[in-house]
A and B are shown apart, each in its own frame.
Chain A
Amino acid sequence: MALVELERDRVAEEVKSRAETGESPIQILEECRRGMTIVGERFQKGDYFLAELMLSGEIFKGAMAILEPYLAKVGPSKPLGKVVLATLQGDIHDLGKNIVAIMLKAQGFEVHDLGVDVAPGLVVEKVRETAPDFVGFSVLITTAFDSMKQAAAMLREAGLREQFKLMIGGGVTTTVVKDHVGADFQTTDATEGVAYCLDVMRGG
């Protein structure tokens, strides 16, 4: 598959010609998503690295842009689910979060990325506004754990905590941190996080 091999031009050409010949855009999109899943697996195994992952995200975005008019004709598409992502106050590292965002978008999630050094209050606002299925906190520095705990507490106080699954991710997180924060899921691996979201949406 061209997407898996990261052949940008070929993906664009193929998607374009197949859509033009009347092939179902939903089917083409599904195929691209499968490609992204395989890229994710390769990343997990160490065969692919950051650059390949980011590139695949861009290629996927390009394919989506081509497919959009065709998808619009088929009817309004509903996102698979909604996710709010943030790197919380005290931490400014966002590479891991960006990777998760790319992979979630590729799987059909609507992603609201709040960026870095985000005040917990902002998360509460965004959750109230978008009613997401998932909230994900990315963390690189251990000293920012308390921001996650604080945000989780504020979401509980606002009575919003039961409406979504809380995920935390980053190389320094552990199950102990998960319990400390009161999250539903923890991972050090972006692909696992995406798999979790898919599982939950499928009722798993």
Chain B
Amino acid sequence: MKLQKIDFEPIGRRGECPAGQSLLEAAHQLGVELVSLCGGKGTCHRCKVQVLAGRVSPPTENEKGTLSPQELKNGYRLACETYPLGDCKLSVPPESLTAPQRTQVEGLEVAVSPEPPVRAYHFELPPPSIEDMRADAKRVLETLYQQHRVRCCTIDLEVLRSLSPQLRSGNWQAQASIRGDEIIAIRPWPSRQLGLAVDVGTTKIAGYLLDLDSGQTLAAQGIMNPQIASGEDVISRITYIGKSSSAAARLQRLVIKALNQLVVDLCAEAEAKTKEILEIVVVGNTAMHHLLLRLPVAQLALSPFLPAVSKALDIKARDLGLRIAPGAYVHLLPNIAGFVGADHVAMLLATEVWQTGGVTLALDIGTNTEVALVSDGEIASVSCASGPAFEGAHIKDGMRAAPGAIERLRLVDDAIEYQTIGGAPPVGLCGSGILDAISQLHLAGVLDASGRMGDHPRVRTVGEQREFVLVSEEEREGWGEQEKRPAITITQNDVRELQLAKGAIRSGIQVLLDAAGHAVPEIEQVIIAGAFGSYIDVDSAITIGMLPRLPLCRFRQVGNAAGMGAKLALISQRQRVEAQRIANRVRYIELTTAPNFTQTFINATYIGYHESG
């Protein structure tokens, strides 16, 4: 039977499906939860997908009747009536999915007294008369000085445009929101001042809506970064931009659109208006930062990997197309290097590691894993190319953390016990599940230290490749699945992919330790940040030698610390100053130039690798 590769983005689930299957059937076979209320009869029109690449059957009369000409032009189709004619890449709009994709927004909370960059002042103007003919703006500025001793010199143009009628209708009373020496909003007194903190990740975007004056978080949401359809990792996105002159603008539009949607959703959740948002703080890796601002990125991915700009920036939100209060600013935290960005600075800020006395290791695990070692008042950081294996890519049955992903796994005698996200029937493995699987297979002696797969009743050879069966064809039937589905397995290649990923991280840790002259047992605290890091079983990560062998009590999984850092910088000017100080202090080490890096890396690929302890 002819097989066709079908790729569902942005959730990143892909696989081979027999020709003659509709896109809806393919989606369900691959565990993509496309909505289909009518069961594929073409009547509910809910299974809308967008064809990004590849050839498919022409639109049916039914589709021409239900989809707008614009939608058809943009490749939108009903999955139940569309048949792929070869390999295809599709984008699934969020509304076509039944279950929400898991994205992480919770993070640790640090108490910081708000000291917002935007402050509200109530003022009452003396009404103008023939004796007092000062211009409205001048009247406001002088009154603010008289009543509050705040000296402003500028008023945002958009504010000026509505100032005069507003003062008159408000009976010469209002509230001015002042940022630095600029009035960025004038609204009726009292109005609340809201702010948005955003962590723009390569895969996910986490947003938090805060009250600037109380520092309270009103709403939090995570969404996928829509740029993912143009490349899963930073490098492929940069390559995509190099292909055409309009690509950079397109990627910027995508992320701005997503941020605007996030603003609307967060405001809906908190019963707020988007115009109440007076400040945004954005953190992200250097590439996401540059893509958001449409700064040049080609040099980021070429040695010596330099950012176009590294210091913190303040930009009018409207200049980026962000729809919040018209006078509001976006503040972008500083970055450190091409592969160590503002998200790393924010993580260091939130975890306060630079203030601890002892040796502390802090890592944010992802496609790129940034690791910092804080010791003797020094901070050194590296970026490890851990690759997308933890996101489920390049792993035969890998997938992102979505319903049906095996997230925990134990080998008990010869049987597998596992837990899936949402308790759904298993469809694949997400990062934490892959980690558990390798660790369990190693403990059971199926994988030796070199990563070679030995014999076991559940090991079989398919083609040239050995694989360990986690959920067999028959076991999948046990979930009441009508059709026969292929087994979920871990292949020898998957093991190799994971060895490369974890070897990259472990060698990064080792290079930092060597550079600072410390040994593993001296590490007093290991902080694991990031969405993936908070779901992993630390014990498994130690077993395979990804994390150093230390007592479990020294590890802290803190969730989205970068998001937390963004929140802190949103509500506190002092924290912004601190962030810049951290960025200035971090010593960036380029891994590949470390002495004997190749050997360090190769050693670190061993399963169960543990240097000195």
Interface, chain A (partner B; CB < 8 A): 45-52, 54, 89-95, 98, 116-117, 141-144
Near A by CB (< 8 A), chain B positions 267-286 give none
Chain B residue, CB-CB nearest to A172: B235
Our pick among A47, A91, A143 for the contact of B298 (Cβ within 8 Å) is A143
Which A residues lie within 8 Å of B260 (CB)?
none
User: How far, in angstroms, from A49 to B606 measured CA to CA in the complex?
Assistant: 9
Which A residues lie within 8 Å of B592 (CB)?
92-94, 116
Which B residues lie within 8 Å of A47 (CB)?
452, 492
Given the interface contacts A46-B496, A93-B592, does A51 sit within 8 Å of B606 by beta carbon?
yes
The answer to whether A143 and B496 have CB atoms under 8 Å apart is no
The answer to whether B303 and A49 have CB atoms under 8 Å apart is no
CB of B208 closer than 8 Å to a CB of A: no
Task: Tell me which of B242, B499, B592 has the highest count of chain A C-beta atoms within 10 A of its own C-beta.
Answer: B592
Task: Tell me which of A47, A49, A89, A95 has the highest count of chain B C-beta atoms within 10 A of its own C-beta.
Answer: A49
Given the interface contacts A49-B496, A116-B592, does A143 sit within 8 Å of B452 by beta carbon?
no
The answer to whether A51 and B603 have CB atoms under 8 Å apart is yes
User: How far, in angstroms, from A61 to B303 measured CA to CA in the complex?
Assistant: 32
User: How far, in angstroms, from A163 to B6 measured CA to CA in the complex?
Assistant: 44
Chain A binding surface SS class? loop
The answer to whether B238 and A51 have CB atoms under 8 Å apart is no
Our pick among A50, A93, A141, A143 for the contact of B605 (Cβ within 8 Å) is A50
Binary per-residue interface labels of chain B (582-613) against chain A in the complex, 1 for a CB within 8 Å, 0 otherwise: 00000000101100001101110110000000
CB of B21 closer than 8 Å to a CB of A: no
CB of B493 closer than 8 Å to a CB of A: yes
Which B residues lie within 8 Å of A117 (CB)?
303
The answer to whether A144 and B302 have CB atoms under 8 Å apart is yes
Q: A48-B450, A49-B450, A141-B302 are in contact. List 17 more A-B contacts (CB 8 A).
A: A46-B464, A46-B465, A46-B466, A46-B492, A47-B452, A48-B452, A49-B496, A51-B603, A54-B599, A54-B602, A89-B302, A92-B303, A94-B592, A94-B598, A95-B602, A143-B235, A143-B298
Q: How large is the interface on B (under 10, 10 to 19, 20 to 34, 35 or more residues)?
A: 20 to 34
A-B pairs, 4 with minimum CB distance: A90-B302, A143-B301, A46-B492, A142-B239
The answer to whether B242 and A50 have CB atoms under 8 Å apart is no
User: How far, in angstroms, from A91 to B451 measured CA to CA in the complex?
Assistant: 28
CB of B98 closer than 8 Å to a CB of A: no
The answer to whether A95 and B601 have CB atoms under 8 Å apart is yes
CB of B62 closer than 8 Å to a CB of A: no
User: How far, in angstroms, from A66 to B554 measured CA to CA in the complex?
Assistant: 49
10 contacts across the A-B interface (CB closer than 8 A): A46-B465, A47-B492, A49-B496, A51-B606, A54-B598, A92-B593, A93-B592, A95-B598, A95-B602, A143-B302
CB of B236 closer than 8 Å to a CB of A: yes
User: How far, in angstroms, from A141 to B298 measured CA to CA in the complex?
Assistant: 11
Our pick among A48, A51, A89, A116 for the contact of B602 (Cβ within 8 Å) is A51
Chain B binding surface SS class? helix
User: How far, in angstroms, from A98 to B603 measured CA to CA in the complex?
Assistant: 15
Instruction: Count contacts between A and B, CB distance < 8 Å.
Output: 63
Our pick among A50, A52, A91 for the contact of B303 (Cβ within 8 Å) is A91
Which B residues lie within 8 Å of A54 (CB)?
598-599, 602
Which B residues lie within 8 Å of A52 (CB)?
450
Which B residues lie within 8 Å of A49 (CB)?
450-452, 496, 499, 605
Which A residues lie within 8 Å of B301 (CB)?
141-143
User: How far, in angstroms, from A49 to B450 measured CA to CA in the complex?
Assistant: 7
Closest chain A CB from B337 CB (angstroms): 13
Given the interface contacts A46-B465, A90-B302, does A143 sit within 8 Å of B450 by beta carbon?
no
Which B residues lie within 8 Å of A143 (CB)?
235, 238-239, 242, 298, 301-302
Closest chain A CB from B497 CB (angstroms): 11
The answer to whether B605 and A51 have CB atoms under 8 Å apart is yes
Chain B residue, CB-CB nearest to A147: B302
Our pick among A51, A98, A141 for the contact of B235 (Cβ within 8 Å) is A141
User: How far, in angstroms, from A102 to B303 measured CA to CA in the complex?
Assistant: 25
Task: Tell me which of A89, A117, A141, A143 has the highest count of chain B C-beta atoms within 10 A of its own C-beta.
Answer: A143
Task: Tell me which of B493, B602, B606 has the highest count of chain A C-beta atoms within 10 A of its own C-beta.
Answer: B602
Near A by CB (< 8 A), chain B positions 458-501 give 464-466, 492-493, 496, 499
User: How far, in angstroms, from A91 to B593 measured CA to CA in the complex?
Assistant: 12
Closest chain A CB from B521 CB (angstroms): 24
Which A residues lie within 8 Å of B601 (CB)?
95
Chain B residue, CB-CB nearest to A93: B592
Given the interface contacts A98-B598, A143-B242, does A46 sit within 8 Å of B303 by beta carbon?
no
User: How far, in angstroms, from A94 to B592 measured CA to CA in the complex?
Assistant: 9
User: How far, in angstroms, from A144 to B242 measured CA to CA in the complex?
Assistant: 12
Chain B residue, CB-CB nearest to A55: B602
Binary per-residue interface labels of chain B (282-305) against chain A in the complex, 1 for a CB within 8 Å, 0 otherwise: 000000000000000010011100
Closest chain B CB from A103 CB (angstroms): 15
Which A residues lie within 8 Å of B465 (CB)?
46
Chain A residue, CB-CB nearest to B593: A92
Closest chain A CB from B233 CB (angstroms): 10
Closest chain A CB from B500 CB (angstroms): 8
Which A residues lie within 8 Å of B598 (CB)?
54, 94-95, 98
Chain A residue, CB-CB nearest to B301: A143
Chain B residue, CB-CB nearest to A95: B598
Which A residues lie within 8 Å of B492 (CB)?
46-47
The answer to whether A45 and B464 have CB atoms under 8 Å apart is yes
Closest chain A CB from B140 CB (angstroms): 51
Our pick among B236, B239, B602 for the contact of A50 (Cβ within 8 Å) is B602
The answer to whether A92 and B590 have CB atoms under 8 Å apart is yes
Which A residues lie within 8 Å of B452 (CB)?
47-49
Which B residues lie within 8 Å of A141 (CB)?
235, 301-302
Closest chain A CB from B556 CB (angstroms): 32
User: How far, in angstroms, from A52 to B605 measured CA to CA in the complex?
Assistant: 11
Which A residues lie within 8 Å of B493 (CB)?
46
Near A by CB (< 8 A), chain B positions 292-333 give 298, 301-303
Closest chain A CB from B105 CB (angstroms): 32
Which B residues lie within 8 Å of A45 (CB)?
464
Chain B residue, CB-CB nearest to A142: B239
Closest chain B CB from A182 CB (angstroms): 19
Chain A residue, CB-CB nearest to B394: A171
Which B residues lie within 8 Å of A50 (CB)?
602, 605
User: How far, in angstroms, from A66 to B496 measured CA to CA in the complex?
Assistant: 34
The answer to whether B603 and A142 have CB atoms under 8 Å apart is no
